[in-house]
Structure 1
Amino acid sequence: MPQKILIIDDDKKISTMMKRGLTYEGYKVSVAESGKEGLLKVLEESPDLVILDVMMPGMDGLEVCRRLRNDGNIPILMVTARDAISDRVKGLETGADDYLIKPFAFEELVARIKALLRRTADEEKDVLQFSDLRLDLKTRMAIRGEREIELSTTEFDLLHLLMRNPKRVLTKELIMEAVWGIDYGGESNVLEVYIGYLRRKLEQEGEPRLIHTVRGTGYVLKE
């Protein structure tokens, strides 16, 4: 499966060039033209790496980087026309993993991306954890405290999605597409049914609820 890259840049000429070249290199590439759109696409697509422009109207790249870093460890490569040392330091202090000055050679962009993805692969965790709940990605088993919980394939996929996005409200539509596929034509209440299955398993010994309903929207994993 090709690795996914999200480009967040309001300069269509630059983003089109990067998308064309990176697609040729074998990556699956999508583009967001604003910081707000970029944050939504990160949630929807779970990219393996983000290429982030600093200078954008509205929400700039530094604020996007700050929000992404607060919510996870996705690799972030900042690109900008600002070449002052202070600007680079600010970007890295905000949470960027690397910094590339425009204009840049495409070969250098690819090299930086490969280095970041290689580093991330080396650091990839086999276990996700939130509160006292762990999800073992190798055994596909959940552990609540010291209690092991067997999961069906669908239960695992659903819990995996929630644990990759802790404290984020996920809409029903997004969850359905991610877990059951965009063309799912089965029971309309299937999501509610599986949320119920997971809750019963995770709360079997009277543990506090972690999967909460957000009325009219979807679900969120929180304490």
Structure 2
Amino acid sequence: MRILVIEGEPQLGDELKKGLEENGYAADIARDGAKGRYLSAQHDYALILLDAVLPGADGFALLRALRRTSTVPVLVLTARDKVEDRVNGLRLGADDYLVKPFALPELLARVRTLVQRGKPNEPTTFRLADLELDLASGKCVRNHQRIELTAKESALLAVLLRNRGHIVSRSTLAEEVWDSTLDSDTNVLEVAIRRLRAKIDDPFDLKLLHTVRGSGYVLEDRSWP
């Protein structure tokens, strides 16, 4: 899931990108309005984080321009905390408004809400046999036991659960989870699969995560004849 960060403060922009990526999102960053508008037209973003005050530009003017062509959710980030500023941002099409400085957990909570609002028909809970993953809360349970997953492990499991019963190729997992291609000589994916399998499969009799040599991986219940 890709998010565009349009932020004029270099340090904050870098911190936002890092925080989002550590929590399972892919993030692109633009330091000014022109780059932000260009990127927003090039990719299908799940959410845009928009600084209201950009170098040489008005973030609200950019918001107005975005709303002419796009319905992607926009979370405005700003130091302006006056009521009229918030009202103006919402009137121009912002979906939410967060005043600087803010804590990363609060930002992430708002991001999750807006992303899910933007995809109302997409389920957030996935089940296979006695395995369940709730993307909204980040909770993973198997056989009534809570399983702690990292953000990448949760994203990897989500892709496999969405495609349960079907083989998911290595390249598809790389694109969906790491938002990139993986070099043929890297074992990043294999290490991630091994760690995920150690958590969701190894402690249980029924194995759900299977390797299909030369093709990829499949999550399925093979206990039925």
TM-score (norm 2): 0.53
Letter in 2 for 1:29: A
CA drift of 1:57 comes to 2.6
Matching residue of 1:26? 24
Structure 1 segment 208-223 matched on structure 2, within 5 A:
none
Deviation string for 1:137-168 (max 9, x for gaps)?
xxxxxxxxxxxxxxxxxxxxxxxxxxxxxxxx
Matching residue of 2:55? 57
Matching residue of 1:99? 97
Decide which of 72, 75, 92 is 1:74's aligned counterpart: 72
CA drift of 1:59 comes to 2.4
Report the Cα distance in structure 2 between the residues aligned to 1:95 and 1:51, rounded to whole angstroms. Answer: 13
Report the Cα distance in structure 2 between the residues aligned to 1:88 and 1:78, rounded to whole angstroms. Answer: 9
Residues 1:83 and 2:81 are matched in the alignment: yes
Matching residue of 2:169? none
Residues 1:48 and 2:63 are matched in the alignment: no
**Change in CA separation of 1:123 and 1:94 when aligned onto 2, cut-off 3 Å:** farther
Matching residue of 1:9? 7
Structure 1 segment 182-197 matched on structure 2, within 5 A:
none
Deviation >4 Å, runs of 4+: none
Letter in 2 for 1:109: L
Decide which of 108, 111, 126 is 1:110's aligned counterpart: 108
TM-score (norm 1): 0.53
CA drift of 1:123 comes to 6.0
**Change in CA separation of 1:54 and 1:105 when aligned onto 2, cut-off 3 Å:** same
CA drift of 1:58 comes to 2.2
User: Per the alignment, in what secondary structure is the counterpart of residue 23 of structure 1?
Assistant: helix
Report the Cα distance in structure 1 between the residues aligned to 2:121 and 2:91, rounded to whole angstroms. Answer: 20
Q: How many residues align?
A: 122
Matching residue of 1:188? none
Report the Cα distance in structure 2 between the residues aligned to 1:113 and 1:10, rounded to whole angstroms. Answer: 19
CA drift of 1:29 comes to 0.4
Deviation string for 1:30-50 (max 9, x for gaps)?
100111110100111221110
User: Per the alignment, in what secondary structure is the counterpart of residue 57 of structure 2?
Assistant: coil
- Give the % identical residues: 40
Report the Cα distance in structure 2 between the residues aligned to 1:18 and 1:63, rounded to whole angstroms. Answer: 22
User: Per the alignment, in what secondary structure is the counterpart of residue 119 of structure 2?
Assistant: helix
Aligned-CA RMSD value? 1.1
Report the Cα distance in structure 2 between the residues aligned to 1:70 and 1:29, rounded to whole angstroms. Answer: 23
Report the Cα distance in structure 1 between the residues aligned to 2:72 and 2:58, rounded to whole angstroms. Answer: 18
Structure 1 segment 175-186 matched on structure 2, within 5 A:
none
Structure 1 segment 201-212 matched on structure 2, within 5 A:
none
Unmatched tracts of structure 1, length 5 or more: 125-223
